[in-house]
Amino acid sequence: MSERNDVVTMAHGSGGRAMQQMIERMFLSAFDNPWLNEREDGARLSLAALSQQGDRLAFTTDSYVVDPIFFPGGNIGKLAVCGTANDLSVSGATPAYLSCGFILEEGLPMEDLQKIVSLMAQTAREAGIAIVTGDTKVVQRGAADKIFINTAGIGVIPGDVAWGAGQIQCGDKVIVSGTLGDHGATILNLREQLGMDLGIQSDCAVLAPMVAPLRAVSGVHALRDATRGGVNAILHEFSEASGFGISIDENALPVKPAVRGICELLGLEPLNFANEGKLVAVVSAQAEERVLNLLRKHPLGADAATIGEVTENPQVCLRGALGVSRQLMLPHTEPLPRIC
């Protein structure tokens, strides 16, 4: 086995000295926090400290396999922190702790891994989230594609927050926090080598600071972040769980001209495009203005808009530019694999 220091080798995943050195030099120094520095095989977290912040834990996980691993607006590491933290936020929780499992392909340049780890650490630090435990596996060249990352997250939900699709009521308003499809269009443009100078980048971001003020608003019923499957997938999840339908106004959808252009060129629908920093909120008509104002106060929510409402008719429908409404189906599959 190679003793090279500039790429990941099988030795880095073996449980021997090479792995210990990589953990110390790269992960411990980047993610630096008291829980991780205990060097036990797992973190120990005070239940009293967690219980001060709320009455329920939120616990969620995602694996990240995005291709390419570097893209305008971020990389796979930033995505792995934001994605799982955002799942916690939209459940009403304050994100607190992340675990992190790396699967590395032999031959991955150490420089690439360092960039990914550094941006993970920076993103977590900015969001007040501690990466407290982790694991590294290395597989032979060709047995994985460069790097896969799994994160699992723990957050705490305050006692007075009860968001969930089961809370949705007929007449509720459907709000998105900003422009749709930026992440999907960015990856598509890179990967299909369309070579368009779109001037767009992934919207990958930690949503917690924008979401937290919404917890004080009565009439907020359900939030989800619209990642893989886009806003359309969320609308269908909400519809199925609540038994109601949702009617969306096509004219109201905030979409950047460049993203609209790529969609029209390829015959794709921005509602199906992945986002990595956008949420869908279902709120009472009374809460609509307050929620829009709170979202727009945050830079990530500047383009927040009401896009539709919850209906008795249990279908998800799209009202087009000419006022004609058609049923919006959930595609069998997304246009773009490995989007996140």
Nearer to a second copy, 101 or 209 (CB): 101
Please, which residues have CB within 8 angstroms of residue 54's CB and are 6 or more apart in sequence? 93, 94, 156, 157, 158, 159, 161
For 293-325, what is the HEC assignment? HHHHHCHHHCCCEEEEEEECCCCEEEECCCCCE
The secondary structure of residue 106, as a DSSP letter, is: T
For the CB of residue 177, give the shortest distance to a second copy in the complex, in Å: 16
Nearer to a second copy, 137 or 319 (CB): 137
Nearer to a second copy, 229 or 308 (CB): 229
Nearer to a second copy, 153 or 301 (CB): 153
C-alpha span between 236 and 241 (Å, rounded): 8
Of 316, 333, 322, which Cα lies nearest the Cα of 232?
A: 316
Please, which residues have CB within 8 angstroms of residue 26's CB and are 6 or more apart in sequence? 113, 114, 117
Q: Cis (ω within 30 of 0) for the bond into 68?
A: yes
Nearer to a second copy, 17 or 197 (CB): 17
For the CB of residue 240, give the shortest distance to a second copy in the complex, in Å: 8
Nearer to a second copy, 123 or 275 (CB): 275
For the CB of residue 69, give the shortest distance to a second copy in the complex, in Å: 12
The helix (H) or strand (E) run that includes residue 37 is helix 34-37
For the CB of residue 158, give the shortest distance to a second copy in the complex, in Å: 11
C-alpha span between 131 and 84 (Å, rounded): 12
* C-beta separation of 220 from 300 below 8 A: no
For the CB of residue 257, give the shortest distance to a second copy in the complex, in Å: 25
For the CB of residue 264, give the shortest distance to a second copy in the complex, in Å: 21
Nearer to a second copy, 32 or 289 (CB): 32
Of 224, 210, 209, which Cα lies nearest the Cα of 87?
A: 224
For the CB of residue 197, give the shortest distance to a second copy in the complex, in Å: 28
